Amino acid sequence: MKHQKNIRLFEIGNVFASGEKGKPNEWRMITAICAEKTSTGKEGKLFYEAKGIADTLCEKMGINDVWYSDFQKASVYTDGRFWHQGRAAEIKIGDRTLGVVGEIDPVLLHAYDISERVAAIEIDHETLVACAQEKKEYRPIPKFPAVERDIAVVVPAETKIDSVQYTIEAAGGELLVSSDVFDIYEGEHIDAAQKSLAFHLIFQSPARTLTDEDVDEAFVAIVSALRREGWDVRS
């Protein structure tokens, strides 16, 4: 961090932990970290970048039923302070635990003289490989151009991003092919009890070129659905 503004690292290797009768257990893990010199209003950004990396890895491996649950346990090889309380989640595939994604506890970072925020991913290699053996769905490269729109939603601070994203995707219909969070703002220009979530939306049809009217109709449906939840929409 003395020489770089952003750091992205990963490693694949074996880890060890004490087992029964003092014998070590050994297994293979995939780990990654994201760290950067933060700016005002970007709190939580690294967590969602790390989550996006985990999502992309699973997608590339043909794993589609990934979900996240609140993380209550310590890391397999550290004490309970390894993960930042409230900013970590277990990565699930069906009823199996693939790993963990979250921010590192500031107390631990301070012990190593690290002042920046750091997010990390731990993935069990064996579980990933086993789940990747499932059937993959292949789609042809789209022949028709995509249309991109951005939308910002102001929600209560405790609102989960997955809930907002589900509302967007449910309302967007078949023309909405992608929705990604690209900014999370909690700063002086917004109420302390709220946060602003910015989403990048991609609309596309496999059968034709979309008109402005097509996209506007889908976009209005999304805005209406968000407002029905009581959230403020800015586009």
What is the per-residue pLDDT across 10-30, written as a single tens digit (0 to 9) for each?
Answer: 999 999 888 778 788 899 999
Does position 190 have pLDDT exceeding 70, yes or no?
yes
Confidence bin at 75 (pLDDT 50/70/90): very low
pLDDT computed for residue 228 by the predictor: 94
| Full set of structural domains in the chain with CATH | 6-131 (3.30.930.10), 147-234 (3.30.70.380)
Flag the least confident range among 59-68, 74-83, 106-115, 203-212: 74-83
Judge residue 122's burial from the number of C-beta atoms within 10 Å of its C-beta, 0-12 exposed, 13-18 middle, 19 or more buried: buried
pLDDT (mean) for 51-71: 83
pLDDT (mean) for 72-83: 52
pLDDT computed for residue 74 by the predictor: 41
Cα(69)–Cα(74) distance, rounded to whole angstroms? 14
Confidence bin at 221 (pLDDT 50/70/90): very high
| DSSP-assigned states of every residue in 94-129 | TTEEEEEEEEEPHHHHHHTT--SEEEEEEEEHHHHH
> Cβ neighbours of residue 89 under 8 Å, at least 6 residues apart?
51, 68, 69, 70, 71, 100, 101, 102
Q: If residue 212 lies in a helix (H) or strand (E), which one and from where to where? A: helix 212-228
User: Crossing angle of helices 212-228/161-172, nearest 10°?
Assistant: 140
Confidence bin at 235 (pLDDT 50/70/90): low
Give the other-Cβ count within 10 Å of 199's Cβ: 23
User: Rg of the Cα trace of the chain?
Assistant: 20
Averaged confidence pLDDT in the chain:
84
pLDDT computed for residue 135 by the predictor: 64
> In angstroms, what CA-CA distances link 5 with 8, 38, 112, 174, 185?
10, 9, 18, 39, 20
pLDDT computed for residue 78 by the predictor: 43
Cα(19)–Cα(23) distance, rounded to whole angstroms? 5
